[in-house]
C-alpha cells in the first residue's frame, strides 16, 4: 500500500467507524462460529499496523506477520503479540500445523497469487483449525480507494469459494457484509466514476457525529453475521477449515 495509507491506518484504526465496527463484527463472528477454547493459538496473516491484534488476543495467544517494515514496527509497538517479517505466499515465518485460528483480514486482494497464498495459510492451520477471511466485494465497486491500497482484485462470492476450494480449504460459512451501508457506498463509488473523479482517500476521519452514526449502523450486522447469510455487501467474510 502507499505509505500514506499506513499512516492514516495507524492514526485512525482505533477510532474510524469502519475499523471499529468491523472489529466488533469479527469478534462476535469468531465467538459464534469458531468458539475458540482454552489456549487458542492465533495467527494474523498480514497484520498491517496491528489494529486487530488486541481483538484477536481476546481469544488466545496471538502472533502475526507483516511484510512492510513501517507497519510491522507500528504493530509491534501497540501489541504484546509477536510480529515477524513475512509475506505470502512463500515467506510465512511460522511452522506448519501450528495455529487453531488464522485471520486474514482484507489481505488476499493485495497478493498476486491468491490460491497459493490461501494454500500457505491453510498449511499453518492445526487439525480442526479455522480460517476467518475478509475481502472487498464486487468489481463494479472498484475505485481510487482500491488503487491507493494496491488491490489486485475484488471478489464475488462464487469466485471466493472457488479460490478457497482450489487451495484445499473447506468453506463452512460465507456471507457478504457491510450490507446496510451498501447503497450509500455503491452510489458514492459509481457517481465518482461517472463524474470522472480521480478522488483522494476515502478513509479519512469523518466528523464525530457522522463517524458515530456510520459505526452504529455498520455494527448492527454483528447480530446477523454467523446466523444468516447476507445477499450482498461491500465486503465478503468466510470461515473455512483445513481440508
Where along the chain do its domains lie? 3-242
Residue 197: the pLDDT is: 64
- Do the Cβ atoms of 205 and 15 come closer than 8 Å? yes
Residue 100: the pLDDT is: 97
Fold of 3-242: Rossmann fold (3.40.50)
**C-alpha 149 chain-centroid distance:** 13
Instruction: Give the integer Cα–Cα distance in Å for 53 and 45.
Output: 11
DSSP E strand boundaries for the chain: 40-45, 60-66, 82-85, 99-105, 125-136, 169-177, 235-242
Residue 58: the pLDDT is: 94
Residue 98: Cβ within 10 Å count = 15
Would you write out the chain's pLDDT as a tens digit for each of its 243 residues?
A: 666 677 777 778 999 999 999 999 999 999 999 998 778 999 999 999 999 999 999 999 999 999 999 999 999 998 889 999 999 999 999 999 999 999 999 999 999 999 999 999 999 999 999 999 999 999 999 988 899 889 999 999 999 999 999 999 999 999 999 999 999 999 998 888 787 765 555 678 999 999 999 999 999 999 999 999 999 999 999 999 997
Q: Which among 34, 49, 148 is positioned nearest to 105, based on CA atoms?
A: 49
Residue 225: Cβ within 10 Å count = 23
pLDDT in tens, 183-195: 999 999 888 878 7
Residue 3: the pLDDT is: 66
Backbone angles phi, psi at 210, to 5 degrees: -65, -40
Amino acid at each position: 500500500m502507499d505509505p500514506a495509507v499506513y499512516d492514516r491506518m495507524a492514526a485512525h484504526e482505533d477510532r474510524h467507524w469502519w475499523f471499529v465496527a468491523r472489529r466488533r463484527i469479527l469478534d462476535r463472528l469468531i465467538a459464534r462460529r469458531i468458539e475458540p477454547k482454552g489456549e487458542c493459538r492465533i495467527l494474523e496473516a498480514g497484520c498491517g499496523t496491528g489494529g486487530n491484534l488486541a481483538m484477536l488476543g481476546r481469544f488466545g495467544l496471538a502472533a502475526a506477520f507483516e511484510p512492510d517494515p513501517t507497519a510491522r514496527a507500528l504493530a509491534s509497538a501497540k501489541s504484546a503479540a509477536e510480529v515477524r517479517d513475512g509475506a505470502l505466499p512463500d515467506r510465512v515465518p511460522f511452522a506448519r500445523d501450528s495455529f487453531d485460528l488464522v485471520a486474514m483480514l482484507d489481505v488476499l486482494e493485495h497478493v498476486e497469487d491468491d490460491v497459493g497464498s490461501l494454500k500457505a495459510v491453510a498449511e499453518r492451520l492445526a487439525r480442526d483449525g479455522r480460517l476467518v477471511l475478509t475481502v472487498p466485494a464486487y468489481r463494479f465497486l472498484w475505485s481510487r480507494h482500491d488503487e491507493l491500497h494496491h488491490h489486485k482484485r475484488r471478489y464475488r462470492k462464487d469466485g471466493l469459494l472457488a479460490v478457497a476450494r482450489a487451495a484445499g480449504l473447506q468453506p463452512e460459512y460465507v456471507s457478504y457484509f457491510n450490507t446496510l451501508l451498501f447503497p450509500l457506498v455503491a452510489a458514492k463509488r459509481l457517481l465518482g466514476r461517472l463524474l470522472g473523479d480521480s478522488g483522494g482517500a476515502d478513509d479519512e476521519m469523518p466528523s464525530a457525529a457522522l463517524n458515530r452514526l456510520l459505526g452504529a449502523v455498520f455494527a448492527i450486522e454483528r447480530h446477523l453475521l454467523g446466523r444468516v447469510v447476507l445477499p450482498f455487501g461491500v465486503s465478503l467474510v468466510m470461515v473455512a477449515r483445513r481440508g
